[in-house]
């Protein structure tokens, strides 16, 4: 863990170790007035960094979305726990974020990434997790995209479909898309679609 002279980690307790790790931190930090805070106790869900990519076909002007079951959305009474998302996955070994985006696009959507453009990177929920996400738009050929994908050993059951970008923007406005990577990627594409199409259609 990187050291910061403005933060003192007094103790870390392992509360749970599974796919993710739950830690309890005892720490204090420098205040804006220069003094030190009291000792704080915070539970942090620790997980590997991840990458997400919105596959986009600039010729068809279509995006590729996926739908899958998410247990964290069991209380989503309006639409149920099957969420509309974009391709995403965590790092495996020495992969780069670009490697992850390309690998996961094939595994989850059956789409080969031809070009990548990085949109941003951000902490997903830093109040309770150290999860860090790299977000991309990926150029694909969406002409034959569809079907069910995912790795059997990971119990993935992922429906993939291609939809016109304008229709995806309407789905976003209607509140049908509820995950931050998909929301941010679609909003970015809505703002930058024309120059991105010009960039990629010359390749």
Q: Which residues are catalytic?
A: 154
Helix 180-201 vs helix 165-173: crossing angle, to nearest 10 = 160
Q: Is 80 helix (H, G, I), strand (E, B) or coil?
A: coil
- Run of H or E residues at 107: helix 97-109
CA 52 to centroid of chain Cα atoms: 4
- Give the closest residue to 66 by CA, choosing from 83, 41, 90: 83
Tokens at residue 190, please?
A: 């809505």
**Interatomic CA distance for residues 144 and 129, integer angstroms:** 38
Compute the Cα dihedral for 79, 176, 165, 203 and give only its sign.
Answer: negative
């Amino acid at each position: 863990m990187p050291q910061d002279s403005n933060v003192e980690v007094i103790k870390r307790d392992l509360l749970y170790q599974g796919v993710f790790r739950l830690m309890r931190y005892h720490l204090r930090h420098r205040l804006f007035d220069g003094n030190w805070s009291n000792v704080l106790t915070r539970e942090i869900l620790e997980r590997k960094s991840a990458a997400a990519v919105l596959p986009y076909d600039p010729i068809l002007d279509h995006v590729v979305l996926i739908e899958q079951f998410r247990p964290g959305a069991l209380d989503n009474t309006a639409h149920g726990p099957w969420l509309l998302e974009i391709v995403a996955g965590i790092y495996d070994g020495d992969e780069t974020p670009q490697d992850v985006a390309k690998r996961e696009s094939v595994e989850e959507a059956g789409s080969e990434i031809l070009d990548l453009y990085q949109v941003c990177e951000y902490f997903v929920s830093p109040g309770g997790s150290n999860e860090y996400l790299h977000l991309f738009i990926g150029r694909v050929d969406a002409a034959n995209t569809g079907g069910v994908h995912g790795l059997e050993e990971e119990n993935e059951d992922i429906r993939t479909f291609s939809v016109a970008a304008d229709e995806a923007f309407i789905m976003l406005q209607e509140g049908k898309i509820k995950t931050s990577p998909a929301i941010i990627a679609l909003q970015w594409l809505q703002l930058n679609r024309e120059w991105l199409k010009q960039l990629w259609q010359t390749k």
